[in-house]
Copies of this chain bind each other. A is one copy, B any other.
């Protein structure tokens, strides 16, 4: 009996909006979006889930949201806005997953309703996961509140939670229904979170966009001094590059190439080695320095370009060394990354600023040498 062949495409589309004070009564961005999606005969509900870090920094936010939706008749906002702890810890807690699934059940959130997450990358990852597995996927709106989530994780297609300490062991690929980047939230970030998200912009510039790298060099001092206009441009351009990469490549990562993981093999391990004391973006800044120096030692990247990269990171205030790099802990990360990829290593390195290239082997002696240089530089900055 002949074999049956199945073949189809699924189309995914979503918009990333840029706004300011999303819940100001005069800002119609969000409500216009919902009105445009209104369909006769369907009562759509809206369940808000917020990052405690955000509600602490914006104590009036819950009331603002309620007031914003009070006159809106096209959707039914669930009056119980749910506040959960943020940060990596929220992805380690299975009870939070259960709490959110229970809320979706209790409030009757169906496949035509929306779950709206407001918070940093961890809360978005957690809520996105819960939305993706409930009723085989509920519509999910993301309102990222950090630089990292507005320019990278929050606008992409992944979600996930940790399982027994294993980062993102459980998760899925599930594009959001829409993303709303609100610059107001950036103002209350602490300096570490403001800075950390910039490393993903450096990363994507280094592998894809030399002019953007030059813009970063030109604007490094403004960014370090918390210039909001410069940061908004950075986020917009970084998000654009990220979205283009997803759309033009392998959105659900069915192959094994992961170019956006430049600088990340060591960063993931550093986060784990420091028990997440170091933030993701801080670890990525170190990972970028490490892989750039490594690319130079291979003779691929000029010394001048390597120094431009290290200097940009220093100007932005990043530390390029962490004591957890001592010993061979981070080298274990290379093996774990190899295993994670199914046995064959694929690592992005640099041929030039704006031009990445993939390799399948890394020389551990050379890595140790590069770590030594980073350590030495840290003690006596160049």
Contacts and interface: CB of A to CB of B under 8 A. Distances in A.
Nearest to A183: B1
A170 B135 CA distance: 6
- Classify chain A's interface size: 35 or more
Interface string A91-113: 00000000001000100101111
Given A133-B170, A256-B112, A1 B18 contact: yes
Interface string A1-23: 11111111111111111100000
A8 B253 contact: no
Contact of A343 (B3, B11, B42, B343): B42
A99 to B, nearest CB: 13
Number of copies of this kind of chain in the complex: 2
Given A10-B12, A16-B4, A18-B3, A132 B343 contact: no
A110 B340 contact: yes
Interface in A31-63: 41-44
Contact of A169 (B135, B171, B253): B135
A8 B9 CA distance: 10
A243 B4 contact: yes
A158 interface: yes
Contact of A1 (B232, B246, B256): B232
Contacts of A43: 342-343
A3 to B, nearest CB: 5
Interface string A343-378: 110000000000000001000000000000000000
A216 B252 CA distance: 41
A215 interface: no
Nearest to A172: B136
B240 A4 contact: yes
Given A1-B18, A3-B17, 6 more contacts: A4-B236, A6-B12, A9-B12, A42-B342, A110-B339, A111-B253
